[in-house]
Amino acid sequence: MSVTVADIRAAAQRIAGAVERTPCLHSRTLSRLTGAEVWLKFENLQFTASFKERGALNKLLSLDAASLRRGVIAMSAGNHAQGVAYHAARLGARAVIVMPRGTPNTKLHNAQVLGAEVVVEGDTLADAARHARELQAREGLAFIHPYDDPAVIAGQGTVALEMLEQAPELEALVVPIGGGGLIAGMATAARALKPGIEILGVEAKTYSAMHQRLRGLPVAVGGDTIAEGLAVRDVGELPLRILQTFSIEVLLAEEETIERAVVSLIEIEKTVAEGAGAAGLAALLEHPARFAGRRVGLPVCGGNIDVRTLASVLMRGLARDGRLVRLRVTLPDTAGSLAKVAAMIGGAGGNIVEVQHQRLFGTASIKSPEVEFVLETRDRAHAAQVEAKLREHGVKLIFI
């Protein structure tokens, strides 16, 4: 069993009008930042904010009427769940979704709002899959796998059809890999349309199952990642065979780089991407020499990031860039000393965001209280100027 470009073209006709034909736009600023010529395919603008709608709908439309009447079931860490829930509801079909514990609340809640019956079971996607298979057998539901299904893969391949129609000059596609459905479909479509195009995958370093499988290594994954959409241990066997056929190379991205990519997409493109959605850009940031001067297409494949997580990523980004710094100042216990230091910081252009005046814990002397400042600065160079201004006036300080 395999997937052909004819299958993908048929999927494109089947789902036309029910999913968005999302824009694919050149980014001048990201191109300057990475050294490549970057085009972004904004799949986060789908109704459920993910490309997963394409494959879910194509699979649903391939089922017969009796199967739709009985209902469907899927296991998912989030985006597939929403795609199945939304389009099953449109088609009048019952949808049951099994999600592992630890799935972001945003994705769990959205699946329920879209009409799915959500069951939380298991610590991993594999655990959720086992429970979903049990429910499938017990209740006679049609199983919609998130990535190891030819109809799902064909639906995901429509992303590449659109990208090469919108930006035919592309020389490479860099595609995030969770279970492998998206890259399998995109590689099949892109190589048929443009045989010389390079297709590269990208995984989070902590979840590099496809990278390991392609190299014949035992799979060892685990740990925390902001890219929960890539946190897959058991990649699809059909996607694996397709990637082997096309000799696809998989790059790895550090967690910090994925966070940087999320921040860059918000600050530069004013678009929200979840960790998996930003992984393609993370690959360019981490491996710039590989893409220097080349025309590269990146699917921003999802935008369903938990709001609290997003806030933390943005604040960590400010700290990483030196635009938010924390310093500890030792003051003489005299009237007005705190005001003087605050005035020096303001005079150097620093903006005080937070102050904590410590007299009881960690101070060397009761006569030398410590004050912790959180400052907003323009960049690391400006933070160094603020530090120099304080030291020039004899202020004792350390950066934390």
Task: Show the tokens assigned to 324.
Answer: 């938010």
Fold that domain 5-42+150-317 belongs to in CATH = Rossmann fold (3.40.50)
What's the pLDDT at 365? 60
What's the pLDDT at 100? 87
- Cα of 336 vs its chain's centroid, Å: 48
Residue tagged 């998912």 (tokens):
76
What separation in angstroms does the CA of 241 have from each of 180, 216, 312?
10, 13, 38
Quote the CA–CA distance of 116 and 76 in Å, as a whole number.
12
Nearest to 189 by CA among 159, 168, 152, 214: 159
If DSSP states are collapsed to H, E and C, what string results for 239-304? HHHHHHHCCCEEEEECHHHHHHHHHHHHHHHCCCCCCCCCHHHHHHHHCHHHHCCCEEEEECCECC
- Cα of 67 vs its chain's centroid, Å: 33
Quote the CA–CA distance of 300 and 216 in Å, as a whole number.
29
CB 63 within 8 A of CB 91: no
Quote the CA–CA distance of 20 and 95 in Å, as a whole number.
22
Helix H or strand E segment including 40: strand 37-41
Quote the CA–CA distance of 264 and 259 in Å, as a whole number.
9
Q: Reduce the DSSP state of residue 15 to 3 states and report it.
A: helix
The domain segmentation of the chain, as residue ranges, is 5-42+150-317, 52-143, 323-399
What separation in angstroms does the CA of 120 have from each of 85, 115, 314?
15, 15, 29
Nearest to 10 by CA among 153, 118, 120: 153
Nearest to 268 by CA among 279, 276, 278: 278
* Second CATH level (architecture) for the domain 323-399: 2-Layer Sandwich (3.30)
Quote the CA–CA distance of 44 and 335 in Å, as a whole number.
55
Counting every residue written for the chain, the total comes to: 400
Global confidence as pTM: 0.89
What separation in angstroms does the CA of 228 have from each of 44, 162, 253?
16, 26, 14
DSSP class of residue 141 equals P
CATH of 52-143, one of 3.30.1510.10, 3.40.50.720, 3.40.50.1100, 3.30.70.260: 3.40.50.1100
Q: Where are the alpha helices (DSSP H) in the chain?
A: 5-15, 28-34, 52-62, 65-70, 79-90, 105-113, 125-139, 150-166, 181-193, 209-214, 237-245, 255-269, 279-286, 288-291, 307-320, 337-347, 380-392
Residue tagged 């799915």 (tokens):
116
Could you tell me which residues come within 8 angstroms of residue 65 by beta carbon, excluding any fewer than 6 positions away? none
The reply to whether 52-143 shares the fold of 5-42+150-317 is yes
DSSP class of residue 335 equals T
What separation in angstroms does the CA of 178 have from each of 147, 195, 239, 252, 374?
9, 24, 11, 12, 38
Give me the average pLDDT of each 10-residue run along the chain (400 residues). 94 97 98 98 97 98 94 89 94 93 80 91 86 93 96 98 98 97 98 97 97 96 91 94 97 97 97 97 97 98 93 91 88 82 88 80 64 89 88 84
Residue tagged 């799902």 (tokens):
152
CB 83 within 8 A of CB 50: yes
What's the pLDDT at 102? 79
Quote the CA–CA distance of 262 and 253 in Å, as a whole number.
13
Task: Encode burial over 267-305: b for 16+ CB neighbours within 10 A, e otherwise.
Answer: eebeebbbbbbbbbbbbbbbbeebbeeebbbbbbbbbbb
> Residue 314: exposed, middle, or buried by beta-carbon count in 10 A (0-12, 13-18, 19+)?
middle
